[in-house]
Amino acid sequence: MAGYVGVFVSDPWLQSQFTQVELRRLKSHFNAMKRENGGLMLADLPSKMARIKHVGENLTEQERESFLRDSYKSLEEDVDFELFLQVYLKIQAHAAARMGNTAKSSSAFVKSATSTLLHTISESEKASYVAHINSYLADDEFLKKYLPIDPLTNDLFEVSKDGVLICKLINVAVPGTIDERAINMKRMLNPWERNENHTLCLNSAKAIGCTLVNIGTQDFIEGRRHLVLGVISQIIKIQLLADLNLKKTPQLLELVDDNKDAEELMSLPPEKILLRWMNFQLKKAKYEKIVTNFSSDIKDAEAYAHLLNVLAPEYINPTTLTVKDHLERAKFVLEHAGRMGCKRYLTAKDIVEGSPNLNLAFVAHIFQLRNGLSTQTKQISFLEISPDEAQMSREERAFRFWINSLGNSSYIDNVFEDLRNGWLLLETLDKVSPGIVNWKIATKPPIKMPFRKVENCNQVVKIGKQLKFSLVNIAGNDIVQGNKKLILAYLWQLMRCNMLQLLKNLRFHSNGKEITDADILEWSNSKVRNSGSKSRMTSFKDKSLSDGIFFLELLSAVHPRAVNWSLVTKGETEEQKKMNATYIISIARKLGCSIFLLPEDLIEVIIHLLNMHGYLMHSIFQDT
């Protein structure tokens, strides 16, 4: 993104230990300390570092001072930024060691000669994800020369360094997310091409619902294992939970009794639906406990034994429930699952240790393979979605992924339900316009008193009016009540405000003045005209935009090498329009645009999709 300035240090190893977000945060602390003192020495750090999370929380000032006296000959030494980072890492490691955060046998540490602690990864999770990748990408023409990956090595992180594997994995999770014509695929990529692939995969991962705060392209290029594994984990989780909704699996209605319960079910996140399904099946087995998580509640493997007995009674082994040893029972469970044809995703040891990610993956795969629900679907009227409701669903998805990309305190699964207490809307407003929220009168969840939710939402509406949103007849209580149209109207204006704020900050373009839609329209037409094309658009709802040619010409004008015109269709048929739209979104993401729309949103140029076209234009404009 234009205007972005990285923080760099001369020591490559030291640089590799931090994300750019972490470096900027620590640089800010360092500069503030120097300003306060007019300089900075080692002796100043024990007190000054109290304000830094992890380092300040877990050790007293006396403990930090004692540690530095043992580590350095003199505390009168001047501190530059690199020494500050070294001290930070050492104290962080010392704090963790004091708290007992040493490595378990199942984890591997990213170590160096000068540090005893950084980030850990679970070797069990790595092995599971490698097995998943080897299975689902085995037939990929480009990747087959790298597969199967050996889970006992770090080959996963080496293969991920060019970005192709992550892009392909995203398409396995949500088919069609990335147009593979936009991926740079050849044996040797130059740094520019590799960076483009990582930018494409990160923006596409955000677009399917991954939360990627403090992760950048450099983390993939350097193979930072805990971050790469975290992204892969989220992508695989999205794939495994894809069927846990009423659209994909209407048989889930068997879990509820009436329309009201069904509406509640539709608003639940996939993990909660999976738990509800598991308990529904366990009830059939007369299992008396309620499973509330994928960790401690299933460590004894008893719930698994009952679940598989219900779903696949032909493979029952009576010994499974009579054996006393939990590890032995877990082994019998996995044998039962294997006879059903389930991929394991975990070991018996992972079950008894309560690995939440791997247990979730295992249960989700059991659901995919054999959910035990009736093939007779209940006829419930509200499942027949009108065109307006379908459009609201698409817009809800775009706004949900945008809000989750901002790094708020909580992840949202449904904007109509999860924003009703006002807190996350206040957090989002504070991200868009820092300092605008009066936190003294805001109430943080959990909120028991309904009027406190109304107070939060009243402040949301008040701030919207300060930002000149059109909020006629909208009150805080409308948000509390979950009024879908009003919530979507507010979110569109909030997202648009965010884009315009970003553009305003790019003074290279705006000279500090307000940027309007008319400015973006003029800029777009000017860019395309100056590239030699006669194409132009009259507005964001111009019907001619549906073929995608104007957007492709704009992307090409911004970055001349971005578009491979031999891959572009004329955009005359619906299929050709969709191919162009998919290519446009992938190219824009590859160039650094964060876009949360679908190809259909570009093709269907109608008034209520003005927001989607405008958002694409804002993103392209912002990135240049």
Confidence of residue 317 (pLDDT cuts 50, 70, 90): very high
Q: What would the 3-class secondary structure string for 54-73 be?
A: CHHHHCCHHHHHHHHHHHCC
pLDDT for 613 equals: 42
DSSP-assigned letters across all residues of 501-529: HHHHH-HHHHTTSPP-HHHHHHHHHHHHH
Q: Tally Cβ neighbours within 10 Å of residue 326.
A: 15
The C-alpha atoms of residue 155 and residue 596 are separated, in whole angstroms, by 32
Q: Which long-range contacts (CB under 8 A, 24 or more apart) does 580-584 make?
A: 580/547, 580/548, 580/549, 580/552, 581/548, 582/176, 582/179, 583/179, 583/181, 583/182, 583/548, 583/552, 584/548, 584/551, 584/552, 584/555, 584/616
Task: Check if the beta carbon of residue 171 is closer than 8 Å to that of residue 185.
Answer: no
Q: Greater confidence, 611 or 292? A: 292
Of 95-104, 107-116, 183-192, 564-573, least confident by mean pLDDT is 107-116
* pLDDT tens, residue by residue, 362-400: 999 999 999 998 866 555 554 555 555 666 778 888 898
Cis? peptide before 318, omega within 30° of 0: no
Q: Give yes or no for residue 4 having a pLDDT over 90.
A: no
Residue-wise over 276-313: b if at least 16 C-beta within 10 A, else e?
bbbbbbbeebebeeebeebeebbbbbbbbbbbbbbbbe
Confidence of residue 110 (pLDDT cuts 50, 70, 90): very low
Contacts of 207 (CB under 8 A, 6+ apart): 177, 401, 589, 594, 595, 596
Angle, CA 270 vertex, CA 264 and CA 273 arms, to 5°: 55
- What's the full length of the chain, in residues? 624
The number of CA neighbours under 13 Å toward the Cβ of 493 is 18
The C-alpha atoms of residue 537 and residue 550 are separated, in whole angstroms, by 8
pLDDT for 387 equals: 56
Dihedral sign, CA of 245, 246, 247, 249?
positive
Residue-wise over 392-406: b if at least 16 C-beta within 10 A, else e?
bebbbbbbbbbbbbe
User: What secondary structure letter does DSSP report for 115?
Assistant: B
Rounded to a whole number, what is the distance in angstroms from the first to the last CA of the chain?
A: 7
Contacts of 62 (CB under 8 A, 6+ apart): 46
What is the pLDDT averaged over residues 316-334?
A: 93
Please report, rounded to a whole number, the percentage of residues in the chain having pLDDT higher than 90.
42
Contacts of 313 (CB under 8 A, 6+ apart): none
Q: Give yes or no for residue 588 having a pLDDT over 80.
A: yes
Q: Give yes or no for residue 204 having a pLDDT over 90.
A: yes
pLDDT for 576 equals: 94
Q: Give yes or no for residue 565 having a pLDDT over 90.
A: yes
How far CA 590 is from CA of 167, 185, 560, 562, in Å, comes to: 11, 13, 13, 9
Confidence of residue 440 (pLDDT cuts 50, 70, 90): very high
Q: What is the mean pLDDT of the chain?
A: 82
The C-alpha atoms of residue 552 and residue 564 are separated, in whole angstroms, by 10
The C-alpha atoms of residue 422 and residue 480 are separated, in whole angstroms, by 8
pLDDT for 267 equals: 72
Task: Check if the beta carbon of residue 62 is closer than 8 Å to that of residue 43.
Answer: no
The C-alpha atoms of residue 149 and residue 129 are separated, in whole angstroms, by 10
How far CA 164 is from CA of 16, 150, 337, 559, 560, in Å, comes to: 22, 18, 32, 21, 22
Helix, strand or coil, per DSSP, at residue 41: strand
The runs of H, that is alpha helices, within 99-154 are: 123-136
Identity of residue 269: P
The C-alpha atoms of residue 329 and residue 528 are separated, in whole angstroms, by 66
The runs of H, that is alpha helices, within 208-250 are: 217-221, 225-240
* pLDDT tens, residue by residue, 477-495: 999 998 999 999 999 999 8
What angle, rounded to 10 degrees, do the helices at 123-136 and 164-173 form? Answer: 80
Contacts of 351 (CB under 8 A, 6+ apart): 298, 299, 301, 304, 326, 330, 333, 334, 359
Structure tokens at 68: 């530095």
Structure tokens at 549: 């040619």
Task: Check if the beta carbon of residue 306 is closer than 8 Å to that of residue 282.
Answer: yes
